[in-house]
Amino acid sequence: MAEKERKTPKLDELEKGAWPSFVKEIKSAAGKNPMANDLLGQLERSYEEKIGHWKHGGIVGVLGYGGGVIGRYSDLPEEFPNVSHFHTMRINQPAGWFYTSDVLRKLCDIWEKHGSGLTNMHGSTGDMIFLGTRTDELEPIFSELTKLGFDLGGSGSDVRTPSCCCGKARCEWACYDTMALTYFLTMHYQDELHRPAFPYKWKFKMSGCPNDCVASVARADMSIIGTWRDDIQIDKSAVTEYAGKGMNIQRDVVGNCPAKCMEWDGTELKIDNKACVKCMHCINAMPKALSPGNDRGACILIGSKAPIVEGALLSSVLVPFIKLEPPYTELIDLIDRIHEVWSENGKNRERVGEFIQRVGMGNFLEAIEVEPVPEMVAHPRENPYVFYEEFFEDESEEQEESEEEK
Amino acid sequence: MAELVKVEEVADSMFTMIKDTMGQKKWKATDLTKAVLELYGDRCDKTLAKSAIRELIESGKCVYTYFGGSFIEIPHKEGAEN
Ligand code: HEM
Ligand code: HEM
Ligand code: SF4
Ligand code: SF4
């Protein structure tokens, strides 16, 4: 080994067991990379002392961009000089995370030359995460990445790297082309992605159907989830085949339908589609027999976030159904109106979901010019307190009149 | 409609605001936009303010920084860097 071998008894514990171990990977990188070697040392020290030794940096980046680099420094630079700077870079991933092995090798070559060699493929933001480099390496890395056709992702108060499920590339349930929309939004919002101008972060996550494989309902300020509005397609002979092979359709499919809208009489499966809530359960249970309808599009939900400044929120329905096809004009108009209202009135570090809670859904809808609909209830038993002005105004007019009479 | 001011002039005004309040106020892109809209009235609009911010950043006179949210500041040595 090129580097001195470190004693890391605490970290070694994390190599035990049948699962992948980041310690094992860092050790393997430490054999040829001094940053990875000092990282092991600093981490072992933190485990001994139960104290984190990273400091946040707020300034590092590449010229012209306000996102994509997250500054980190060690507070033990004398002991671990090779990790005195340890900045993270977010690299915008291709939609659906499809790569050729050739491009993966080239990405790793760039990173081994200019950074720790350690990556996280992929981070929870969706980006490729390059972990650990020095300030003076940022521009050279950026220049090599752009030559290879890659760009930095988002960080800070900007549009974060949009991400999606593999959609139509590999999944028959996809109700719209998630990868096409992800690419489109990434290109359309380049300025907003690289030049932070919002109160706080803004995340788009695209799932092709309500299975929501990218968990957009919990992780995106705007969750765009595929759905359909006609009837679930039933292949009767395939239903018979499932029954013939011993599937307990009554118990496992019909019995678990949350809308209680399915019927099975032993030979025929019936669905009351008006009552179906598109939960995907029956389709997941009998993929050969059932599939989403043909009139496909997406439901747009707004406002989810993890707890940082305030508690966690799930997204709630904003547009129950929208056809999503290029050039996506209706969607872009809606997003721009939301960005405008939130940018103008949002407080620093206030996510759009918190903003809606503060100003009230009724006021928010009025500001973005969207009509309230019953589907907008965020969770059962919640009253969104939408006032219908036409009724409201009538009453106040009457009141004015009666006051005038006095 | 009144004639718009030049991008450079808006950028200079923004730079002065940032410089004069260094250490007292952190500016976000929207704060700068609101401030120049107030300063120039109908001689400035949001698109112009956006171009001015871009000019400030790409000339290297200012940089984006991140402290919880994103701000626009005059470059300085990072406190956390040793
Ligand atoms: C046959 C008579 C009644 C029926 C069928 C009925 C039915 C219901 C139902 C279905 C709910 C909603 C429960 C839930 O969502 O979990 C409810 C809630 C409620 N009912 Fe009744 N109700 C009746 C009589 C009354 C009477 C006589 C009163 C008051 C004098 C009343 C006051 C309320 C109140 C205050 C709630 C809200 C409770 C809460 O939010 O926790 N109900 N009722
Ligand atoms: C000062 C008096 C009252 C206050 C502060 C009050 C407050 C509330 C609140 C906070 C709710 C829950 C609303 C929601 O979750 O959307 C509620 C629901 C309800 N209240 Fe009252 N209430 C009052 C008087 C009454 C009276 C006098 C009645 C009936 C005679 C009544 C019947 C109900 C019913 C039936 C509900 C359930 C409505 C629904 O689920 O949609 N309340 N009330
Ligand atoms: S979210 Fe739906 S469409 Fe996307 S991969 Fe998962 S199951 Fe398929
Ligand atoms: S999708 Fe869900 S709600 Fe709809 S019929 Fe199937 S199980 Fe029931």
pLDDT tens string B7-29:
999 999 999 999 999 989 999 99
Q: Report whether pLDDT(A386) > 70.
A: no
Expressed in angstroms and rounded, the spacing between residue A230 Cα and the centre of ligand 4 is: 13
Q: What is the mean pLDDT of chain A?
A: 92
The distance between the two most distant Cα atoms of chain A, rounded to a whole number of Å, is 96
> Do A107 and A129 touch, CB atoms closer than 8 A?
no
Domain span at residue A175 reads 163-228+298-390
Q: Are residue A65 and residue A180 in the same domain, yes or no?
A: no
Using 50, 70 and 90 to split pLDDT, how confident is the model at A387? low
Using 50, 70 and 90 to split pLDDT, how confident is the model at A229? very high
Expressed in angstroms and rounded, the spacing between residue A210 Cα and the centre of ligand 3 is: 7
Question: Which tops the pLDDT comparison, A392 or A7?
Answer: A7
Q: Are residue A74 and residue A24 in the same domain, yes or no?
A: yes
Q: Are residue A320 and residue A220 in the same domain, yes or no?
A: yes
Using 50, 70 and 90 to split pLDDT, how confident is the model at A402? very low
Q: Does A134 touch chain B (CB under 8 A)?
A: no
- Domain B7-81: CATH class, spelled out: mainly alpha
Expressed in angstroms and rounded, the spacing between residue A254 Cα and the centre of ligand 1 is: 30
Q: Are residue A264 and residue A116 in the same domain, yes or no?
A: no
Using 50, 70 and 90 to split pLDDT, how confident is the model at A113? very high
Q: How far is CA A273 from the centre of its chain?
A: 30
The residue ranges of every structural domain in chain B are 7-81
Q: Are residue A75 and residue A214 in the same domain, yes or no?
A: no
pLDDT at B2: 77
Q: Report whether pLDDT(A283) > 70.
A: yes
Q: How far is CA A26 from the centre of its chain?
A: 27
Chain B residues in contact with A191 by the CB 8 A cut-off are: 50
Q: Does A94 touch chain B (CB under 8 A)?
A: no
Q: Are residue A286 and residue A304 in the same domain, yes or no?
A: no
Using 50, 70 and 90 to split pLDDT, how confident is the model at A1? very low
Q: Is A123 contained in some domain?
A: yes
Q: Are residue A330 and residue A380 in the same domain, yes or no?
A: yes
Q: Is A156 contained in some domain?
A: no
Give the percent of chain A with pLDDT over 90.
Answer: 86
pLDDT tens string A133-182:
999 999 999 999 999 999 999 999 999 999 999 999 999 999 999 999 99
Provide the number of structural domains found in chain A. 3
What's the rounded mean pLDDT across residues A331-338?
98
Alpha carbon nearest to ligand 3 atom 7, residue? A211
Write down the number of H helices and E strands in chain B: 3, 2
Alpha carbon nearest to ligand 4 atom 7, residue? A257
CATH number at residue A262: 3.30.70.20
ipTM: 0.89
Q: Does A347 touch chain B (CB under 8 A)?
A: no
pLDDT at A392: 55
CATH number at residue A140: 3.30.70.2500
Q: Report whether pLDDT(A104) > 60.
A: yes
Token pair 């071998």: residue: A5
Q: Are residue A211 and residue A273 in the same domain, yes or no?
A: no
Contact B82 A135 (CB under 8 A): no
Helix axes B7-20, B29-40, angle to 10 degrees: 120
> Ligand 2: does its nearest atom lie under 6 Å from the Cβ of A383?
yes
pTM value? 0.82
> Do B39 and B23 touch, CB atoms closer than 8 A?
no
Question: Which tops the pLDDT comparison, A308 or A100?
Answer: A100
pLDDT tens string A24-44:
999 999 999 999 999 999 999
